[in-house]
Copies of this chain bind each other. A is one copy, B any other.
Amino acid sequence: MIVILKQNPEEKQLGNLMAWLESQNITIHTSTGEMHTILGLVGDTSHLDIDLLRALDIVEDVKRVQEPYKNANRKFHEDDTVISVSNTTIGGDIFSVIAGPCSIESEEQICQVAQAVKDAGATMLRGGAFKPRTSPYAFQGLRGEGLNLLLKAKKLTGLPVVTEIMDLSQLNLFDEVDVIQVGARNMQNFELLKELGRTGKPILLKRGLASTLQELLMSAEYIMAGGNEKVILCERGIRTFETATRNTLDLSAVPMLKKLSHLPVVIDPSHATGISWMVKPMALAAAAVGADGLMIEVHNDPKHALCDGAQSLTPEAFADVMQSVNAILPHAYKAGKGV
């Protein structure tokens, strides 16, 4: 950590600051320039409150050198994390494709879609039971009943299932769920993250609409600090000024996250664009850029879907995407250790 002092700092205050820092087992290297004096703080600075230091009268600015996350940091964990999910893995050699409807609507619907995406090569089934909707008047999901239908589809097809939790109070219903999804709006629901850190379940953590990559990694750190290392990062588009697509898919997040962290990274092109015909090109780009997998909305009848039909693929269109993605994969960017 680097502390830049104002010109001519008051001596007594400077003395107090240095004494306090030393009491925290921090070694101080001082560089005196014409305009500023700089303190280089050496030691474990992760417990120093950067805002507190900035608030001091004699301080002009403070800059962090070390990343504020440890468990998620590739510097302390060189190898890629590979997470076992039932009969498959994510983060290793298998390219994971998590497919299914935005909302679970009926047994027939979820089972049909599950079978179709399995046939096309999906490795996991997704389906929403608890649905975060902007409007209180929109369909809120089948909730507990939806989870039961999802588990039926799991039984039928053998696909592991991924579904979203919206509140801690729902956690007891997620026993047989294979991967618990934390939605973009909950990426900084810290009470939820802490509790998920106490489960042993893989957590698919979606990047918030306006969250930086560092914030995403800090949220992963919340889960990992509780002892659960099974975190899957998911980029699903960020909010920008552009309105031609629902959000802006930030594909540079993939190589950057894989450089900063050892955790697997998947891409959700369906939510990012909000437009079904854009899912294919963006899925190909995601495969090429080195993502560990995709999350794609598939519905057997997108035009009558109860939510987000506009971005869902038909099973046939999904099979076409899978074929094209598979052709790209052998030529994709290889990140990892040597990034």
Docked-complex contact A136 and B167, CB < 8 angstroms: no
| Cβ-closest chain B residue relative to A213 | B244
Contacts of A36 in B (CB 8 A): 65-66
A interface majority secondary structure: mixed
A328 to B212, CA, bound (A): 30
- Asked whether A88 is an interface residue with its Cβ less than 8 Å from the other chain, the reply is no
Tell me how far the C-beta of A229 lies from the nearest C-beta in chain B, rounded to whole angstroms.
Answer: 14
CA distance A215 to B304 in the complex (A): 25
Residue of B nearest to A218 (CB): B134
Does the CB pair B42–A34 fall under 8 Å? yes
Interface assignment of A337: CB less than 8 Å from any CB of chain B: no
A335 interfacial by beta-carbon distance below 8 Å: yes
> Which residues of chain A in 144-173 are interfacial with respect to chain B, using CB atoms and an 8 Å cutoff?
166-169
Q: Do A243 and B134 have beta carbons less than 8 Å apart?
A: no
- A255 at the binding interface (Cβ < 8 Å): yes
- Contact yes or no, B250 A278, CB < 8 A: no
Q: Is A232 interfacial (CB-CB < 8 Å)? A: no
A327 within 8 Å of B by Cβ? yes
> What are the residues of chain B within 8 A of A85 when measuring CB–CB?
none
A324 (CB) vs chain B CBs: closest residue? B331
- Cα distance A222–B218 in the bound complex, in angstroms: 29
Task: Output the nearest chain B residue to A238 by Cβ-Cβ distance.
Answer: B240
Task: Say whether B210 contacts A252, CB under 8 Å.
Answer: no
Q: How close is A166's CB to chain B, nearest CB, in angstroms?
A: 5
Separation of A310 and B51 alpha carbons in the complex (Å): 6
Report if A185-B191 is in contact (Cβ < 8 Å); known contacts: A65-B4, A249-B252. Answer: no
Given the contacts A132-B190, A248-B240, A284-B288, A32 and B38 also touching, CB distance less than 8 Å: no
In angstroms, Cα B256 to Cα A281, docked, is 10
Quick one: CB contact mask for A107-151 with B, threshold 8 Å, 1 for yes?
000000000000000000000001011111111100000000000
**A242 at interface by CB-CB < 8 Å:** yes
Q: Does A18 contact B (CB under 8 A)?
A: no
In the assembled complex, the CB of A311 is this many whole angstroms from the nearest CB of chain B, namely 8
A89 touches B (CB below 8 Å): no
A167–B69 alpha-carbon span in the complex (Å): 24
A-B contact pairs, 11 of them (CB 8 A): A31-B42, A49-B307, A52-B304, A134-B188, A167-B192, A169-B169, A214-B244, A256-B278, A281-B333, A281-B335, A284-B332
Known: A132-B190, A169-B169, A239-B241. 18 other contacts (CB 8 A): A33-B40, A34-B42, A55-B276, A56-B303, A63-B63, A68-B137, A135-B221, A169-B191, A210-B210, A213-B244, A240-B241, A242-B250, A249-B250, A252-B278, A285-B285, A287-B288, A324-B331, A328-B331
A interface residues with partner B (beta carbon < 8 Å): 2, 4, 27, 29-36, 38, 40, 42-43, 46-47, 49, 51-52, 54-57, 61, 63, 65-66, 68-69, 75, 130, 132-140, 166-169, 185-186, 188-192, 194, 208-210, 212-215, 218, 221-222, 225, 238-245, 248-256, 260, 272-274, 276-278, 280-282, 284-290, 302-312, 324, 327-328, 331-333, 335, 339
